[in-house]
């Protein structure tokens, strides 16, 4: 029996029983609790609540429903659909349990020739709420179902509500036994794969309040009238009456799967589980999308539009994963409309609109996949290379915000790559984006408050960058964005992002910071450019403050780079290349790049290395770099294809993506050759002196070298010279003798400190020597406790305690010493074997007294130590130790 026939028989059955047929409501209703209509009773909710008087005492309908909470399960299991048709019959204070049960039973079991579905009564199993004796009695005594086929179930299974405050009540469900080949015997309680629910009869009599789960909410009281709300799943009944294993093989979904198979060349049910999931996703999601578009939903970035976009993009991606390379959405949508329009003729009427919306989203997502998939692959590769299992929240946010990837798509792709996603980090970035319309320094690297404001710029194509050849360029204002919204005019004092058709201003990338400069209009407006960022690596966003006048979209302008800033930036970037080349000469080819940053006069370069640079290596790197400066190498730039550049030995920079054509920066022929999109000096002499100012670790196996170049290098050296002159004068030695003289002073200082420590230790020993003589017996245990002289550190104190314990090792004794060492209060406790036998443990004692000196500590039963910061608590700590010992 075809699905449309099942639907018609249901309506006809209840119309004959005096029900008024009510057409399906739109999937979108004005209900703040619902994104979409998700149950057949939703349009009747005002009648159940008593808010409105029903125009009829009983009704019947087949309602369109959408549920997307378990979208990830669609296709993975064969029981989940996002769109489904819920056939229902409703009574508003008219009839109740007995009639509802009789109506359902007769439709299910009446012969086909009499308008029923002709199901075998022996295969039907009713369930009732745990204390609903009335319903069980009707099933047993009126319908004649044997008691052993009627099962009672709890609130989670047989008490219905919408999941939000509203009408509710006990229910009785009808299950169909598909036979032993589908699972074990024992009814629905034993196996809900074998026993599949097809009808739910809700005896709606109460109103529920707030709650957190299916069985955790308050019953507020009875409804004004007892009502009946029943729902029969059209798709599930179709599955049974058509003799197929699951709903995806029924007459409304299988044709879509067959079409997807023809378009992709893959076969459904051929043993490839992943392909089968994709086929089912395509069939389910395409139908849901068509129904949503038909009810007025348009793809968007939030709410209903986001759900639709998510569904359509899952269809597109699933088709591509099946091997389809050409657009397929038009053919799939045509098939869905053909299948569904007999029951929903409005789909045929809106054919062109539905097709246009779906195909436009496929086209848009095609561009998204082309760019975003590359970024995802790079993020996944970098994650694995770093030995991590989770893609960062920042990468996930970039995919979502800049490339339009829904987070669920990133999650799916990550799972396929054997990775997870830092969902918490992603959520935090999303929350921050919503809180702040203007992105901060971190967010600007990831995207913008509302990417839709930038879509037009991306569609126009890349910004023409003229900055390699000139510092001043005539341009036109393509548009402006302020606080995430498009604006057509910006007045003095405002901050906006300006997009030009062409620009000489360098956008931050490749480790090089952005240019600063100005944008001026022919009318005299002046804009200060504070920052320049790339959107999608192709559109330049100039972040500006309008200083005078106003700027209007479409204005002809003059964009200018601050020449001093650019000169310093080129020195820093070219200097980075020199330092990179010098590092490889000194450390070898394993010193590969792990990151870089250069700005006017300064550079830092991260590289892979297992150990710090020695003083000699650091000096060599600085010397090699400056020799290259002195050689006045010509800096050549040229474009070639990636393969040829690699053959030439050009090095790729960390974190950069390269297309087929690349830009090569060559300094001194073989001395340095790298792929680079940055700006550079004309000759190496223009870099000026290179001074390495520091080297250190920034992570496991990664080191960082920092350097000044040009005038910043000279200024740094001038300060160093002044410092050396001051030391020379203070020490009264020539500057070349300062290092030796300082070393002599340091050696003498260390020797003096060592002698002082020895004196303190001796004084401490003398002081604690009397502690044994003054020790007191507490409850039979000798307590040797006190405060030693100041300046004894934790190690010295530990030595003293160990020595004291050795002197009383044959006794039941506890030794506890405290000291003051600068701002610290170290303390050590030791116990003898006899004391431990009595249950006195050093670690426990330390735990008790540590808070009294505002500290922490721990250790073993025989020896433990800690450190605090409050010396005023030492006496209290000593008393507490004696108290504890006395309690044993």
Identify the weakest region by mean pLDDT among 12-16, 178-182, 511-515, 646-650.
646-650
Supply the pLDDT for residue 763: 66
3-state secondary structure of 120: coil
3-state secondary structure of 869: coil
- Rounded to an integer, what distance in angstroms lies between the CA atom of residue 252 and that of residue 746? 88
Q: Do 259 and 232 have their domain in common?
A: no
Report the 10 Å Cβ neighbour count for 231: 23
pLDDT tens-digit map of 841-857: 999 999 999 999 999 98
Supply the pLDDT for residue 452: 58
Mark which of 561, 592, 625 sits at the end of a domain. 561
pLDDT tens-digit map of 165-183: 777 899 999 999 999 999 9
In a domain, 742, yes or no: no
Whether the pLDDT of residue 441 is over 50: the answer is no
113 confidence band (pLDDT: 50, 70, 90): very high
- State which residues form the domain around 853: 765-886
In a domain, 442, yes or no: no
CATH code for the domain of 234: 3.30.930.10
Q: Do 109 and 234 have their domain in common?
A: yes
- Rounded to an integer, what distance in angstroms lies between the CA atom of residue 172 and that of residue 140? 13
Pair 94, 65: CB distance under 8 Å: no
What is the mean predicted confidence (pLDDT) over 121-149? 95
Token duo for residue 209: 């309040």
Supply the pLDDT for residue 163: 73
Q: Do 105 and 207 have their domain in common?
A: yes
Looking at per-residue pLDDT, the higher value among 217 and 498 belongs to: 498
Supply the pLDDT for residue 434: 59
In a domain, 583, yes or no: yes
577 is in an annotated binding site: yes
* DSSP for 459-523, written as a single string: HH-PPEE-TTT-SEEEEEEEEEEETTEEESEEETT-EEEEEESEE-SPPSBTTBPPP-EEEEETT
Cβ contacts of residue 371 below 8 Å, gap of 6+? Answer: 403, 536
3-state secondary structure of 18: coil
Q: Do 651 and 785 have their domain in common?
A: no
Kind of pairing between the strands at 159-161 and 863-868: unpaired
Supply the pLDDT for residue 552: 93
Task: Determine which helix (DSSP H) or strand (DSSP E) holds 843, and give its type and residue range.
Answer: helix 842-849
285 is in an annotated binding site: no
Cα distances (Å, whole numbers) of residue 151 to 161, 169, 383, 626, 797: 20, 18, 52, 88, 74
Buried b (16+ CB within 10 A) or exposed e, 794-819: bebbbebbeebbeebeebbbbbbbbb
Whether the pLDDT of residue 645 is over 80: the answer is yes
What is the mean predicted confidence (pLDDT) over 545-574? 95
Q: Do 402 and 543 have their domain in common?
A: no
**Residue whose structure tokens are 């609540």:** 49
What is the mean predicted confidence (pLDDT) over 335-351? 92
Classify residue 41 by its DSSP letter.
T
Identify the weakest region by mean pLDDT among 18-32, 272-286, 318-332, 553-567.
18-32
In a domain, 443, yes or no: no
pLDDT tens-digit map of 32-47: 667 888 888 888 887 8
Supply the pLDDT for residue 372: 73
Mark which of 495, 528, 561 sits at the end of a domain. 561
In a domain, 50, yes or no: yes
444 confidence band (pLDDT: 50, 70, 90): very low
What is the mean predicted confidence (pLDDT) over 330-353? 92
3-state secondary structure of 253: coil
In a domain, 441, yes or no: no
Q: Quick one: CA torsion of 583, 588, 593, 598, rounded to 10 degrees?
A: 10
Pair 843, 861: CB distance under 8 Å: yes
In percent, how much of the chain has pLDDT > 90? 56
Q: Quick one: CA torsion of 541, 543, 549, 550, rounded to 10 degrees?
A: 40
Q: Do 97 and 234 have their domain in common?
A: yes
Identify the weakest region by mean pLDDT among 317-321, 398-402, 530-534, 693-697.
398-402
Supply the pLDDT for residue 761: 67
What is the mean predicted confidence (pLDDT) over 665-693? 93
Reading phi first (left if > 0) and then psi (alpha if -120 to 50, else beta), residue 572 is in: alpha
Whether the pLDDT of residue 208 is over 90: the answer is no
Q: Do 492 and 366 have their domain in common?
A: no
Supply the pLDDT for residue 386: 79
Pair 529, 489: CB distance under 8 Å: no
- Rounded to an integer, what distance in angstroms lies between the CA atom of residue 848 and that of residue 406? 54
Whether the pLDDT of residue 371 is over 80: the answer is no
CATH code for the domain of 492: 2.40.30.130
In a domain, 422, yes or no: no
Supply the pLDDT for residue 657: 45
Supply the pLDDT for residue 33: 65
Pair 138, 101: CB distance under 8 Å: yes
435 confidence band (pLDDT: 50, 70, 90): low
Supply the pLDDT for residue 255: 96
Supply the pLDDT for residue 766: 67
Whether the pLDDT of residue 776 is over 70: the answer is yes
Q: Taking CA 568 as the corner, what is the angle to CA 565 and CA 570, rounded to the nearest 5 degrees?
A: 110
Task: Determine which helix (DSSP H) or strand (DSSP E) holds 813, and give its type and residue range.
Answer: strand 813-818
Whether the pLDDT of residue 11 is over 90: the answer is yes
| H helical segments located in 588-636 | 615-630
Supply the pLDDT for residue 449: 34
In a domain, 471, yes or no: yes
* DSSP for 739-783, written as a single string: HHHHHHHHHHHHHHHHHHHHHHHHHHHHHHHHHHHH-EEETTEEE
Supply the pLDDT for residue 412: 78
| H helical segments located in 808-837 | 833-837
77 confidence band (pLDDT: 50, 70, 90): confident
Supply the pLDDT for residue 888: 78
Q: Do 611 and 507 have their domain in common?
A: no
CATH code for the domain of 875: 3.10.310.40
Using CB atoms within 10 A of its CB, is residue 239 exposed (0-12), middle (13-18) or buried (19+)? buried
Whether the pLDDT of residue 443 is over 50: the answer is no
Kind of pairing between the strands at 602-608 and 635-641: unpaired
Supply the pLDDT for residue 16: 95
Whether the pLDDT of residue 658 is over 80: the answer is no
- Rounded to an integer, what distance in angstroms lies between the CA atom of residue 43 and that of residue 24? 9
Q: Do 221 and 133 have their domain in common?
A: yes
What is the mean predicted confidence (pLDDT) over 71-90? 83
Cα distances (Å, whole numbers) of residue 238 to 1, 290, 481, 866: 7, 21, 53, 73
Report the 10 Å Cβ neighbour count for 360: 14
* DSSP for 61-118, written as a single string: EEEEEE--TTGGGBTTBSS--SEEEEEEEEEESS--HHHHHHHHHHHHHS-GGGTS--
Q: Bridge partners of 634?
A: 683
Mark which of 717, 749, 777 sits at the end of a domain. 717
In percent, how much of the chain has pLDDT > 70? 93
Classify residue 26 by its DSSP letter.
P
Handedness of CA 481, 484, 485, 489 (dihedral sign): negative
3-state secondary structure of 137: helix
pLDDT tens-digit map of 91-106: 998 999 999 999 999 9
Q: Do 579 and 524 have their domain in common?
A: no
CATH code for the domain of 686: 3.30.980.10
Supply the pLDDT for residue 184: 94
What is the mean predicted confidence (pLDDT) over 357-362? 87
676 is in an annotated binding site: yes
Supply the pLDDT for residue 448: 30
Handedness of CA 786, 792, 795, 799 (dihedral sign): negative
Whether the pLDDT of residue 494 is over 90: the answer is yes
Q: Do 553 and 585 have their domain in common?
A: no
Using CB atoms within 10 A of its CB, is residue 327 exposed (0-12), middle (13-18) or buried (19+)? middle
Supply the pLDDT for residue 352: 84
Q: Do 284 and 148 have their domain in common?
A: no
Summarize the chain as % helix, strand, coil (round to 5).
45, 25, 30
Whether the pLDDT of residue 509 is over 80: the answer is yes
Mean of per-residue pLDDT scores for the chain: 88
Pair 634, 683: CB distance under 8 Å: yes
Pair 507, 533: CB distance under 8 Å: yes
Looking at per-residue pLDDT, the higher value among 256 and 386 belongs to: 256
753 confidence band (pLDDT: 50, 70, 90): confident
Q: How many domains does the chain have?
A: 5
């Amino acid at each position: 029996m075809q699905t449309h026939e099942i639907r018609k028989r249901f309506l006809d059955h209840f119309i004959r029983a005096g029900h008024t047929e009510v057409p399906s409501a739109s999937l979108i209703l004005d209900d703040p609790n619902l994104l979409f209509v998700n149950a057949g009773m939703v349009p009747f909710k005002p009648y159940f609540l008593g808010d409105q008087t029903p125009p009829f005492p009983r009704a019947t309908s087949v309602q369109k429903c959408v549920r997307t909470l378990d979208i990830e399960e669609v296709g993975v299991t064969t029981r989940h659909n996002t769109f489904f048709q819920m056939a229902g019959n409703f009574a508003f204070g008219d009839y109740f349990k007995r009639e509802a049960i009789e109506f359902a039973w007769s439709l299910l079991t009446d012969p086909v020739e009499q308008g029923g579905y002709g199901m075998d009564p022996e295969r039907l199993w009713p369930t009732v709420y745990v204390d609903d004796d009335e319903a069980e009695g009707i099933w047993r005594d009126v319908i004649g179902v044997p008691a052993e086929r009627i099962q009672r179930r709890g609130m989670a299974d047989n008490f219905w509500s919408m999941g939000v405050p509203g009408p509710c009540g006990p229910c009785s469900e009808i299950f169909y036994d598909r036979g032993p080949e589908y699972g074990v015997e024992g009814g629905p309680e034993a196996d809900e794969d074998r026993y599949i629910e097809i009808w739910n009869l809700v005896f709606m009599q109460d109103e529920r309040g707030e709650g957190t789960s299916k069985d955790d909410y308050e019953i507020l009281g009875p409804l004004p009238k007892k009502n009946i709300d029943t729902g029969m799943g059209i798709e599930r009944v179709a599955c049974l009456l058509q003799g197929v294993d699951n709903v995806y093989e029924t007459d409304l979904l299988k044709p879509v799967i067959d079409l997807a198979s023809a378009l992709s060349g893959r076969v459904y049910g051929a043993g490839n589980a992943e392909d089968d999931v994709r086929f089912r996703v395509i069939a389910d999601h395409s139908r849901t999308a068509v129904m949503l578009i038909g009810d007025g939903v348009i793809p968007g970035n939030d709410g209903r539009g986001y759900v639709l976009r998510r569904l359509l993009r899952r269809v597109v991606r699933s088709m591509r994963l099946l091997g389809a390379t050409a657009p397929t959405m038009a053919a799939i949508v045509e098939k869905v409309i053909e299948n569904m329009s007999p029951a929903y003729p409005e789909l045929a009427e809106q054919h062109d609109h539905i097709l246009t919306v779906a195909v436009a989203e496929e086209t848009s997502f095609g561009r998204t996949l082309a760019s975003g998939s590359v970024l995802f692959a790079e993020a996944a590769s970098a994650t694995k290379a770093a030995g991590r299992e989770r893609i960062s929240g920042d990468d996930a946010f970039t995919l979502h915000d800049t490339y339009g990837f829904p987070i669920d798509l990133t999650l799916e792709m990550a799972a396929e790559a054997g990775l997870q996603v830092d969902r918490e980090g992603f959520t935090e970035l999303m929350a921050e984006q919503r809180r702040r319309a203007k992105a901060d320094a971190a967010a600007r690297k990831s995207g913008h408050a509302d990417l839709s404001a930038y879509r037009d710029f991306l569609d126009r194509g890349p910004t023409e960058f003229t900055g390699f050849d000139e510092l001043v360029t005539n341009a036109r204002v393509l548009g402006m964005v302020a606080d995430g919204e498009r604006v057509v005019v910006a007045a003095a004092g405002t901050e906006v992002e300006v997009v030009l058709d062409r620009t000489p201003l360098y956008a931050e990338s490749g480790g090089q910071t952005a240019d600063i400069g100005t944008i001026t209009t022919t009318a005299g407006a002046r804009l200060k450019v504070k920052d320049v960022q790339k959107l999608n690596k192709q559109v330049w966003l100039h972040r500006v403050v309008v200083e005078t006048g106003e700027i209007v979209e479409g204005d002809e302008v003059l964009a200018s780079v601050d020449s001093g800033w650019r000169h310093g930036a080129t020195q820093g970037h070219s200097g980075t290349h020199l330092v990179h080349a010098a590092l490889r000469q000194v450390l070898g080819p394993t010193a590969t790049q792990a990151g870089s940053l250069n700005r006017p006069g300064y550079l830092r370069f991260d590289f892979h290395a297992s150990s710090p640079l020695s003083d000699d290596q650091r000096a060599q790197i600085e010397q090699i770099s400056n020799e290259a400066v002195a050689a006045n190498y010509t800096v050549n730039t040229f474009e070639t294809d990636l393969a040829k550049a690699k053959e030439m030995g050009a090095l790729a920079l960390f974190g950069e993506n390269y297309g087929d054509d690349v830009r090569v920066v060559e300094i001194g022929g073989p001395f340095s050759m790298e792929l680079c999109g940055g700006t550079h000096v004309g000759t190496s002499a223009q870099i000026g002196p290179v001074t390495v100012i520091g080297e250190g670790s920034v992570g496991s196996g990664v080191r960082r070298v920092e350097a000044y170049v040009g005038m910043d290098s000279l200024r740094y050296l001038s300060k160093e010279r002044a410092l050396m002159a001051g030391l020379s004068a203070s020490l009264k030695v020539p500057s070349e003798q300062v290092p030796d003289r300082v070393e002599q002073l340091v050696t003498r200082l260390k020797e003096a400190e060592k002698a002082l420590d020895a004196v303190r230790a001796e004084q401490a020993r003398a002081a604690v020597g009397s502690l044994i003589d003054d020790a007191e017996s507490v409850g039979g245990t000798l307590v040797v406790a006190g405060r030693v002289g100041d300046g004894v550190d934790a190690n010295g104190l530990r030595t003293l305690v160990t020595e004291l314990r050795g002197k009383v090792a044959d006794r039941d004794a506890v030794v506890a010493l405290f000291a003051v060492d600068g701002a610290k209060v170290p303390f050590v406790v030791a116990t003898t074997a006899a004391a431990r036998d009595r249950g006195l443990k050093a670690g426990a004692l330390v735990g008790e007294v540590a808070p009294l000196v505002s500290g922490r500590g721990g250790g073993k039963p025989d020896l433990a130590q800690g450190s605090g910061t409050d010396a005023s608590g030492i006496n209290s700590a000593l008393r507490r130790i004696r108290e504890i010992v006395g309690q044993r």
